Amino acid sequence: MKLKNKRKSFIKQLNNLQTNIVMGFFNKEFKIGDKWAGENHPTYFIAEIGANFDGSIEKAKKLIDAAKASGADCAKFQTFSTPRIVSEGGFSRMQLKGVHGSWGRTISEVFKEAEFPVAWHKEISEYCKSIGIDFSTSPYFKEAVDLCVDLDVPFIKIGSGDITWLEMLDYIARKGKPVMLATGDATMAEIDEAVRTIHATGNKDLVLMQCITNYPSKIDSANVNVLKTYQSAFDVLTGYSDHAPGHVVALASVVVGGRVIEKHFTLDRNDKGPDHPHSMEPKDFKFMVDSIREVERAMGSTVKEVQKEESETVFVQRRCLYAARSIKAGQVLVDEDLTVLRPALGIQPKYKKTIIGKSVNKDIPAGDPIFWEDL
């Protein structure tokens, strides 16, 4: 009953959407840097380094090296200025019970330590380029958006927390870069409003990303199938910004059409810092990438056809009509003369009724297949 009520509520949300999005407006494939993203292209993997560089530019570079070696297409950071993203006065009014409440320090203190210095951006961007991995960063103030453009990042990712800041969405989308929009904590109505905001700018390169904003999130809450809803409602490329343990959610996302996967990335989950515990270590990230590459190979195409490796088994496994007993030339076939056996060398079983009543033109020993030329 509870699930039925949730479904009714969701359908009501869909019906209440006042979308004016033209189906087919958003590109279903486009370039992210020098790679293509889309249904018929490999999954694009983002290693979200976030704050896991722990204030060290050298550790940031080690993380980038590890991300590259683990199969990531992009090493991503976050660009914010603590006074421009959090209000300590606001947080002092809350009794936080989730991960933010477990830090044992003020939100401002934690965020200040996690800042990715603007002065590092160019050096880190150039370092990424030198080893052959994309660099990007999520901007949390407008000058950071401009910096993304100056550094020619391949895309701009908008975190779930800014999905209702429509002015910022508009500002980002008008830069002409591919936009990745995370949708954690959001209702369908809020997502619709955000997508329409991007649509209105004329930017056609959007990846709409399912996300559960908890650290870590629960696999039971992943709701991967919502990607199908996004694909149907907005006719847009989809992906998953995943905070769940392991790689199951990412794997499932690719199966239902997600083409971008983002996971937090660390060298060691035991390191101190807000993001390390819910991040993937290099060996696990590589296993995820390798597993999804196998899934991509297994998905194949929508065309059903006999494969080359089935060229023998198509005969070995199938049956045909055989002589159940010795049959003399000129004899008229009856049901008792026929049996259905492997391998399929002769007439297919579906033609049994067709050949009953016909005479054979040669002797056919018991156990031999019957061919059309025998009739």
Indicate if 211 and 122 belong to the same structural domain: yes
Contact 163, 17 (CB under 8 A): no
Last residue of a domain, one of 299, 320, 343: 299
Show the domain range for 175: 2-80+115-299
What is the full per-residue pLDDT of the chain (375 aa) written as tens digits? 555 566 556 555 555 555 556 689 999 999 999 999 999 999 999 999 999 999 999 999 999 999 999 999 999 999 999 999 988 888 777 776 666 655 567 878 888 998 999 999 999 999 999 999 999 999 999 999 999 999 999 999 999 999 999 999 999 999 999 999 999 999 999 999 999 999 999 999 999 999 999 999 999 999 999 999 999 999 999 999 999 999 999 999 999 999 999 999 999 999 998 899 999 999 999 999 999 999 999 999 899 999 999 999 999 999 999 999 999 999 999 999 999 999 999 999 999 999 999 999 999 999 999 999 999
- The whole-model pTM stands at 0.88
Residue type, 31: K
Last residue of a domain, one of 299, 322, 354: 299
Buried b / exposed e over 339-351, threshold 16 CB at 10 Å, is bebeebbbbeeee
Indicate if 196 and 262 belong to the same structural domain: yes
Domain membership flag for residue 202: yes
Question: The domain spanning residue 338 has which CATH number?
Answer: 3.90.1210.10
Q: Which is nearest to 264 in space by CA: 318, 207, 226, 217?
A: 217
Q: If you write DSSP's letter for every residue of 243-305 in order, what string do you get? A: -SSSSHHHHHHHHTT--EEEEEB-S-TTSSSSSGGGSBPHHHHHHHHHHHHHHHHHH--S---
Domain membership flag for residue 253: yes
